[in-house]
Chain A
Amino acid sequence: MAYNLECTALTKSFGTIRALDNVNLQLEKGKIIGLLGPNGSGKTTLLKAAAGLLTPTTGQILIGGHQPGEETKAMVSYLPDRNYLNNSMKVSETLDLFEDFYTDFDRAKAEAMLDSLHIDRSQKYKSLSKGTKEKVQLVLVMARRARLYLLDEPIGGVDPATRDYILNTIVSNYAEDATVVISTHLITDIEPVLDEVLFLKYGQLVLHSTADQIREEHGKSVDEYFREVFRC
């Protein structure tokens, strides 16, 4: 059985800088995984490589046993750390777009989520506030029945009340055979929903453990342990 995400000696260099350095990992289905590390540790690079936006320098990355391509893009739901929607589109048009291209997109669910967040579907994307834009993107991404969710800072730009809603959405929306990878600095907020944790440091994977294991072995929360490992 193929892993939802598998990296073998994955290395990505930008000139002389190694953004990812010999990363080996396997992520199983049915887990929510926190991808944690300080700025510049390679979190976004790893997610982008899995989404097919970067070509690895050496090594291999597989999604459901396949190399990034048309097939894997149909099973990966990726939320980048920026606004990637066409500004001239209306919110309803972005729903049309996702419905057209992703067979696993559940429009009814997306509309229900937009209504819960009080987002007017007739509004143009460019007229929305920064936080609302992020909410729209998250709704689109989470309304898919994907096999692998890659969420880069999904709660970074929203208020605490919306954070709870988003985290609830993530927990309640992913299917049993799916894997959710969340990259964030807001560890305390996401800690309750995490099954596993990945620590990246200077592009290297320094820890892959369950959240319970960290708490049991170190007697600390994931957030406290993170602060200890990455103390400046």
Chain B
Amino acid sequence: MLGKLLKYENKTLSKTLFPLGIGVLLIALFSSLIMKLNLYLQDQANEFVSKLMGTTTVVLLVFSFLAIFSAAFIAVFLILQRYYKSFFTDEGYLTFTLPVKTHELIFTKLISSLLWSLFVTICVMIAVALFALFGTTQALLNQEVANGARLLLKELGNFFTVYKGTAVFLAFEFLLVGITSFCMQFLMFELAITLGSIVAKKHKILASIGMYFVVNFACQSINSILTIFTLPALLLNESMQFQPDEPQTVALFLILPVILYAIYTVVFFLINRYLLKNKLNLD
């Protein structure tokens, strides 16, 4: 049933998030074109036209960049809105009468949010790259940016050649940190929405926001306590030979957030599943 749930969830999310991603790319293309035109006209036109073009372009660019970078926030908002709508509004009457397990519903939301966030993130990255490469020069391609990117890739290649296994492990760890922190964050959002919707009779969204701060505060407190007790012990442990510049040390320290985020993810998931299974009271 998970596959079927994912099919319908992705279909619904695609109606808003696909245009959002494509919109970001179009904005990047459009602003690159305007910028290119501006650079060209600055050489050709008289002073007044040149100044006018310059001002218009700056305003346009500010809005374009705001649009591109706010796309990530809009995506998160749309994903969470979908969670709330399909669980705690009239649509919940269908969602919770489907013959599926509660954990399948939660997994569906998590997997689809992961996929669509990735899609929007890639669109934003491509948009920024497009602008940096094509929108910042009169020529076809900004050679400096291209060289910078080439250098970055070369350095990364060198890093992998020198540190081999550790570098691969480090890259894997960064990926794990990304995935676990994403899962933790989304499950925290979703748990807050569930708590807010179950606890409050009215103003459920407001209650959900309040619950998010409560859950977040609780996590921050736990994190602080853990840091106080574990970090000095790790730093002062002579056998660990703490060397912050060494990739081995970084690799070792990255395991901690992965474990912590994974624990939070499991705890949020279990609480959310318990609430949806045993405390559901749709209005």
- Which residues of A are in contact with B by a Cβ distance under 8 Å? 14, 48, 51-55, 70-71, 73-74, 76, 78, 80, 82-86, 88, 97, 100-102
Contact = CB atoms under 8 A, between A and B. Distances in A.
A101 B98 contact: yes
14 contacts: A51-B97, A53-B92, A54-B282, A55-B278, A55-B279, A74-B99, A84-B90, A86-B12, A86-B86, A86-B91, A100-B4, A101-B4, A101-B100, A102-B99
Given A84-B90, A97-B8, A73 B282 contact: no
A158 B193 CA distance: 35
A82 B90 contact: yes
B3 to A, nearest CB: 10
B206 to A, nearest CB: 19
Nearest to A49: B281
Contacts of A51: 93, 97
A146 B96 CA distance: 17
B281 A54 contact: yes
A48 B99 contact: no
A74 B279 CA distance: 21
Contacts of B97: 51-53, 73, 76, 78
A86 B86 CA distance: 8
B202 interface: no
A101 B93 contact: no
B101 interface: yes
A83 B92 CA distance: 10
B101 A85 contact: no
Given A73-B99, A101-B1, 14 more contacts: A52-B96, A52-B97, A55-B279, A55-B281, A73-B97, A76-B97, A80-B93, A83-B90, A84-B94, A86-B94, A88-B12, A97-B8, A100-B4, A101-B100
Contacts of B93: 51, 53, 78, 80, 82, 84
Interface in B86-121: 86, 90-94, 96-101
A70 B90 contact: no
B280 interface: yes
Name the 8 nearest CB pairs between A and B, nearest first.
A74-B99, A84-B93, A73-B99, A84-B94, A80-B93, A53-B282, A82-B90, A100-B4
Contacts of A55: 278-281
Interface string B148-169: 0000000000000000000000
Interface in B193-232: none
Nearest to B95: A84
Contacts of B282: 48, 53-54
A74 B86 CA distance: 19
Contacts of A70: 99-101
Contacts of A71: 99
A92 to B, nearest CB: 13
Contacts of B100: 70, 73, 101
